[in-house]
Amino acid sequence: MKPLRIAVAGLGTVGGGVADVLLTRGRELAERAGRPLELVGVSARDRKKKRATDISHLEWATDPASLAKSDADVIVELIGGEEGVARTLVETSLAAKKHVVTANKALLAVHGAQLAALAEQNNVSLKFEAAAAGGIPIVKALRESLIAYGIDAVRGILNGTCNYILTQMEATGRTFEDVLKEAQKLGFAEADPTLDIGGGDTAHKLALLSALAFGIAPNLSNINTGGIGHITPEDIGFAHEFGYRIKLLGIARRVPGGIDQRVTAAMVRRGTPLADVEGPFNAVVADAGPAGPFFFEGRGAGEAPTASAVVADLVDIARGAFAPAFGRAANMLTKAPPPPDSRRSAFYLRFRVLDVPGVLAEIAGHLAKSDVSIESMIQRGRAPGEPVAIVMITHECSESAVSRALKVIAASDKVLGAPSMIPMEAG
């Protein structure tokens, strides 16, 4: 049978892995695909770089955009970035009726709906299993498997860097800044870690999972996004004491009036699937109505897991499997603005206060006035006149009510610094 002709743009860790698999596991892949997968061209900055597999026989494009004019059937875009070269390559490739496989979550989170429409107009596939949760086949599961009853919620640990940092903070008791520095030294965090630790990378991935689960167009501005930079060893210690772990979660759920999407550090009860995900692993829980929760866990980044996802997309294309990028025709994707009302949740609250009579009564009074009721409380140690910590877990209440109360409480001269507030989430 006619081979599927593949060109890869970007030969970093993942691109190198993809090229390697295509060149060394051809027979197995052809068995799976029913036809050969042939790597015909590559584009990367450094032609001379030493690589695991010899690629000197391949056509080399200095300008990645020129691949769109090559005779490849599929372009694999592994350049990254939501604009610039990557966007141009994907757009011109689709317009030239070439299938596109990409790991570019930023591009799809911003331009996904438009690119999906462009792919459909040109009768080609736009596939992105590698863009969310690495090797875990969650894109395919949400697009093709968990569809009979719809999805009520998707919750995931989608950023390995954050999960590594939080796991290390818990294991060592060290501060966020300390562990981040070490992670950078070990190559587990980027030199500029903002996108990871600020929650932006998780938001990109969540936008894609929400689109697949709920039929909404990816839209970052609908995602309430926070990171992990505010988490202290104290918070992690108290979480442990209450039986929880702190995880950075991407959460999208159907609520009255819309789809609530957020990226937030959250307290997750130990013993639940997401709480026990350690180090650089990723995991996703999909609540599929009466079919129940499904849990997926695996490596979320790195050469082999990500290359595995890219290759699976390529084999799908080789077999002629076609599904719209987000599981429904692009013109059916809805806008789904975030729900109007503040969401409700239970919260962990930590106050640094002067150990003087009446301080607890004052805090409790302000919370009560805002209809925030307390489920459990720890005041650790006694140090008359000195700073001590008071930690509370609230019953479910409105987020905005808690925020209002905290503002008033923070203004008290018995309360030192800004209170800490972390939502409790299902794991």
**Residue 48 known to be catalytic:** no
For a second copy, the closer of residues 34 and 365 by Cβ is 34
In our burial notation (b when 16+ CB lie closer than 10 A, e otherwise), range 193-225 reads bebbbbbbbbbbbbbbbbbbbbbbbbbbebbbb
- Out of 105, 127, 205, 247, the active site residue is 205
Subset of 88-127 contacting a second copy (CB under 8 A): none
Residue 426 lies near a second copy (rule: CB under 8 A): no
Q: Which of 320, 337, 387, 417 binds a second copy (CB under 8 A)?
A: 320
The answer to whether residues 283 and 274 touch, using CB atoms and an 8 Å cutoff, is: yes
Residue 238 C-beta: closest distance to a second copy, Å:
23
The one-character DSSP state at 26 is: H
Q: Which of 57, 62, 123, 148 binds a second copy (CB under 8 A)?
A: 148
Residue 323 lies near a second copy (rule: CB under 8 A): yes
What Cα–Cα distance (Å) separates residue 34 from each residue in 22, 126, 309? 15, 21, 18
Rounded Cα–Cα distance for residues 162 and 181 (Å): 13
Residue 156 lies near a second copy (rule: CB under 8 A): no
Lay out the site mask for a second copy across 196-225 (x = CB under 8 A, - = otherwise): -------------------x----------
Lay out the site mask for a second copy across 275-314 (x = CB under 8 A, - = otherwise): -x-----------xxxxxxxxxxxx---xxx-xxxxxx--
What Cα–Cα distance (Å) separates residue 319 from each residue in 21, 29, 125, 347? 18, 11, 12, 49
Selection from 366, 390, 362, 363 nearest residue 376 by Cα: 390
Q: Which of 15, 64, 135, 218 binds a second copy (CB under 8 A)?
A: 135
Taken in order 119, 120, 123, 129, the sign of the CA dihedral is positive
The answer to whether residues 101 and 318 touch, using CB atoms and an 8 Å cutoff, is: no
Residue 316 lies near a second copy (rule: CB under 8 A): yes
Q: Which of 3, 26, 36, 150 binds a second copy (CB under 8 A)?
A: 150
For a second copy, the closer of residues 32 and 51 by Cβ is 32
Alpha-helical regions (H) of 267-358: 303-318
N-term to C-term CA, the chain: 47
Residue 417 lies near a second copy (rule: CB under 8 A): no
For a second copy, the closer of residues 223 and 284 by Cβ is 284
Residue 370, Cα to own-chain centre: how many angstroms?
A: 33
Binding site for a second copy (CB under 8 A): 21, 25, 28-29, 31-32, 34, 129, 135-137, 140-141, 144-150, 215, 271, 273, 276, 288-299, 303-305, 307-312, 315-316, 319-324, 327-329, 332
